[in-house]
Structure 1
């Protein structure tokens, strides 16, 4: 093998993903000897063993781990190149994948995606809902084109592009079955049961510090990535939660109330982030611009509503 070609990298990745040469051959529609030869040729090209072959399958050597990381980056960049070249034709099929928190789904997502599909009617869009901390590994290695979420000062984002979007106030929310008692304090609620999103950074990490300073222990806090579960526990199990103002009346529901507290809750800073190691796709770049546009519109609308009230 005088030169290392992309198909060889794809075969190498499939062997690792499948766990054995035989399984990879079946998945790729090749013969087992053909796959073995490709792996042998790649190892000969570098002059080092990349995988350890056993009866139970294959495992990566240290060199193989380095090879896998680089090969995934190369094939991903080649795919992005093909996508961008294809996007220059009118009948192109582009794909974009990104992560977002629930607030985006409740506010700007529908406008963003509707406008995006007008520009790219054949686009294949994959969207994933969770907190930003869950998405960062996939953003860093290029599996996600970008992600939207809340930032906090302790987050290490030097390897990421950060595009600020908007700020959002959060409020304490309970079921309307509770009797309103006026303004209270967080310390007065330390024996209550709480439910919050699962994350170790961003807004809810800051909020957790605030709650703990006011005597609310982690034993009284249930964590989940499911916004449906959060609403359900608040509505049917008398839990408390802290969510953005725009999420207090989901789908027009009047089943929730806000409880004013004396303490100032942290303000969330939302941003879009993507890796500096990869050139962002045109389609993904347009989605980020749409997120900025619709975030600005949503903020203006909220200010108008506050002025009317």
Structure 2
């Protein structure tokens, strides 16, 4: 390949891939349809391959187009991050930071970490995405999320990311106060209970599945599965379900004494880690956030 694609080529191709049609993409980009079509042809000529299949139904990506789309998204996002960091260094702007984490972080250390971070860098645009690590990883890999925090199985770490262990947290079973099984001290006593279990197969979820698989096979009612904390709490409080949460969440989830942790110690602990893209250099804002996150996790009683 004699020449590399231009940034305008990448931006045009990305919008067409997202929109699914030349007409919609041209409207989003504010250019004419013939001009956009010409840009796409130039890109295909530069690469020496067909990227798009055009039909009356719209646009579809070829196999080469799919592969190129993934790389183009990352290149444009990384270029944006580089420009923002240069501006930050030159004091024209303070940039942005996007972090993602599950409800455990939201209910424990994040308020203090965010406050300390904003005191030092008050002009940084801090964006938070809440979710399990499995749902956050695509954003980490393509550069949309600077840092994610979640549970990682040390025997099966995710690919394409850097990992820094932060803390280990034991887990417990919770029920509403007054639940008939609230005083059960072994798993076998809970075979007839209604269970709500994590949907994700990553991190401690997989550990739970591996270590408690024998017990799961004995549960009489097929468990309900969700990653929604709100749904889980509502089912525990109002439908007598049991669920598994990090023990560190018990105090912030007391809900005026309406929840209790069962006296069962047969559950595994989970290792929580900070995760960021292996392909991208960590920005100054991300490094500053991680410094404060490390310190907060070190001080917190998990």
Same fold (TM over 0.5): yes
Q: How far does the alpha carbon of each residue in 1:252-273 deviate from its partner, in whole angstroms, 9 at most, with x for none?
A: 5211111112x52101111011
Change (3 A) 1:259 1:252: closer
Of the structure 1 ranges 9-18 and 281-290, higher mean CA displacement relative to structure 2 is found in 281-290
1:1-309 map, 5 Å = 4-179=5-180, 182-214=183-215, 215-217=217-219, 219-250=221-252, 253=255, 254-261=257-264, 263-299=265-301
Q: For residues 184-239 of structure 1, give each alpha carbon's deviation from its aligned partner in whole angstroms, at most 9, with x where no partner exists.
A: 21011011011123211211221133333224449532121211111111111111
Q: 1:93 to 1:35 in 2, by over 3 A?
A: farther
**What's the TM-score once normalised by structure 2's chain length?**
0.91
Shift of 1:41: 0.9
Q: Distance in 2 between matches of 1:235 and 1:63?
A: 51
SS at match of 1:200: coil
Q: Structure 1 residue 105: deviation in Å?
A: 0.6
- Structure 1 residues 128 and 196: CA distance shift in structure 2, 3 A: farther
CA shift digits 1:68-125 (9 cap, x unpaired): 1221121111111011111114351412222211110111010111122222222222
The whole-number CA distance in structure 1 between the counterparts of 2:58 and 2:261 is: 56
Q: State the distance in 1 between where 2:110 and 2:39 align.
A: 45
Q: 1:171·1:244 contact (CA, 8 Å) conserved in 2?
A: yes
Partner SS, residue 191 of structure 1:
coil
Contact kept in structure 1, 2:149 and 2:273, CA below 8 Å: yes
Instruction: Provide TM-score, normalisation by structure 1.
Output: 0.89
Equivalent-residue separation in structure 2 for 1:63 and 1:83 (angstroms): 30
CA contact (8 A) 1:189 1:216 kept: no
Q: Could you tell me how far apart the structure 1 residues matched to 2:134 and 2:219 are?
A: 22
Structure 2: how far apart are the matches of 1:163 and 1:9? 33
Give the drift of 1:181: 6.5
Matched-pair contact (CA < 8 Å) for 1:149–1:272: yes
**Structure 2: runs of 5 or more not aligned:** none
Partners in 1 of 2:65 and 2:140 — Cα distance?
A: 22
